[in-house]
Structures are given as structure tokens and as C-alpha cells.
Amino acid sequence: MPSRTASSEVGLSREQRGDRTVIALDGELDIASAPSLRERLHAALIDTGPYVVIDLSGVAFCDASGLALLVDARRRVRPGGTVVLAAPRPQLLRLLQVTGLDRVFTVHRSGDAAEPLPARPAAEQLDARSAAA
């Protein structure tokens, strides 16, 4: 039986949508892919808007090296910027929860990375809804 070798190349695309930068990742975020992805992700984070959405819908696997890349990406976004992780698969969502990173990042379960982010803190949104009722 022939052995199967996993590719260490992760797909990365970047799209600017107004003040939002959407970076879509596709593949496995692991120790094999981390070195080349780190450089490409750093380049993709240059001159981003105030919101960076990292679309994880195409990520099939993630280990500690992949999580470290996401944390590093968050540190590289301009001060005051927001990083949103969008559409992680159930296994990755669970990994984010177990490690506590779901409290560090804003995580949207939706695959629509273009969905507008809240402009106001949640408490203000609740007050606005109460006033409208």
C-alpha cells in the first residue's frame, strides 16, 4: 500500500471588503504548514482595515502550531483593530473552547464572513432594542 504524504501548503486568500479584510485559510494548520503559512499570513496582515476576519471554514485540522499562528495574527493587527474567527468546523471550535481562545477572539459560527460586525458593545445593543419595544 503506498504511503500518503500530506501537503504542508495551506491555501490563503485575502479580500478587502470596505473597512474589513477577509483572510480565508484552506487546509491543515499544523506543525508542517506553520513555517510557510506564517510568512504569508504576516504579508496578508499588512495594511488591513480595522476589522480582520479569518475565515476558517476550509480548515480541516488544527494543532497547537495552528493556534499559535492565529494568536500571532491577532497581535499583528493594528492597535484597536478587531480579529474575528469565522466559521470554524466543530473540531476547531471545540479546540478554541478548550484552550480558552474563544474568549480571546470573537468567534462567529457563520460562514458569511461579510456579515457586518456589531458597531456597539452588546449592552448598548440591548438598551437600543429595549427602547424600540
pLDDT digits (tens, 9 = 90+) for 8-31: 689 999 999 888 999 999 999 999
Which pLDDT score is estimated for 17?
Answer: 87
State the burial class of residue 121 (Cβ atoms within 10 Å of its Cβ: 0-12, 13-18, 19+): exposed
More confident of the two residues 130 and 35: 35
H or E segment and range at residue 92 = helix 90-99
Report the pLDDT averaged over residues 122-129: 42
Cα 62 from Cα 67, distance rounded (Å): 7
- Per residue in 23-78, pLDDT tens? 999 999 999 999 999 999 999 999 898 899 999 999 999 999 999 999 999 999 98
Domains, the chain, in order of start with CATH, read 11-132 (3.30.750.24)
CB within 8 A of 67, min separation 6: which ones?
A: 29, 95, 96, 99, 101
Which pLDDT score is estimated for 100?
Answer: 96
Which pLDDT score is estimated for 49?
Answer: 81
Contact by Cβ (8 Å): 16, 47? no
More confident of the two residues 9 and 99: 99
pTM (predicted TM-score) = 0.78
